[in-house]
Amino acid sequence: MAWRREDYGYAAAAIAAVAFLAYLIAGNFGLVPSPLGQGHAEALPQAEVAGLVIANPAARPLPAVAVAPKPAPSGPQVGRGDKAAAALAPPTVRIDTRSGTTVQIAQKATILGRVLASAGVRQVVVQFSSTSDGSASALATTQCASATNCAWSVAVPNTLGTYKVVAVATDKAGRIALSNTITITVVNPGNVVGGVVDGVGSTVQGLGSAVQNAQTTLANTVNNLLGALHL
């Protein structure tokens, strides 16, 4: 069998591979220094890895995060402008009409008052309470010199009776204020006219009696004079 040049090369490579494999096996058993030992491994460039430190949760517990519950809405919801208005002074309202006033049912009488509200006047409602007719409310008419200062008026009920009257003012922040309480009486003017007529009739009747008495007195006087003269 004739060897070619290439055969020598293959044989040499095979022998070198077997020798290297034997060297690795011997190095694994510590018979010869292993190319994969610690010294050789440290010579290789090492990748830098950031250390991860994990704290012991039992040694230092994390504080619990307190979350406040969302407050439930109460009352009318207000916008940003109304919230600013709510920081101002509350409203005030009063009745200027004198308590104990008597008006006739045929009159177009009104109750007058004023209201002040630094947050702005929204409305004035006047409540009438009567022992005979119950209670009723009426929205007052406002005339404002400014948004915070208004005069108001409301018509008197067209029903006979005595009423307790109170005004309720509301500002633009939704706050309310109560006024002073007055009484007002609605009467029938026919009773007044009837009394006047009765008085006039009594006076005329009295004058008739006086004239009749005067005539009788005059006749008696004449008769007495004629008797004295023996006529």
Residue 53 has pLDDT above 60, yes or no: no
Q: Are residues 32 and 92 in the same domain?
A: no
Residue 210 within a domain = no
Residue 48 within a domain = no
Residue 153 within a domain = yes
pLDDT for position 20: 78
Q: Are residues 13 and 93 in the same domain?
A: no
Q: Are residues 30 and 121 in the same domain?
A: no
- Domain residues for the domain of 126 are 83-189
Q: Are residues 16 and 113 in the same domain?
A: no
Number of domains in the chain: 2
Nearest to 184 by CA among 101, 119, 111, 113: 101
Query: pTM, whole model, 2 decimals?
Result: 0.48
Q: Are residues 27 and 87 in the same domain?
A: no
Residue 69 within a domain = no
pLDDT (average), residues 8-32: 76
Residue 94 within a domain = yes
Compute the distance between CA of residue 124 and CA of residue 167 in angstroms, rounded to an integer: 7
Q: What is the CATH number of the domain that holds 104?
A: 2.60.40.650
153 vs 60, higher pLDDT: 153
pLDDT tens digits for range 154-175: 999 989 999 999 999 999 999 9
pLDDT for position 165: 97
Residue 172 within a domain = yes
pLDDT tens digits for range 63-97: 666 666 666 555 445 555 556 666 788 999 999 99
pLDDT tens digits for range 176-205: 999 999 999 999 987 544 443 345 455 446
pLDDT for position 66: 63
What is the percentage of the chain residues whose pLDDT exceeds 90?
37
Q: Are residues 183 and 88 in the same domain?
A: yes
Q: Residue 183 pairs with which residues in a beta bridge? A: 164
pLDDT, mean over the chain: 75
Q: Are residues 90 and 11 in the same domain?
A: no
pLDDT for position 193: 40
Q: Are residues 115 and 26 in the same domain?
A: no
Residue 64 within a domain = no
Q: Are residues 171 and 104 in the same domain?
A: yes
Residue 223 within a domain = no
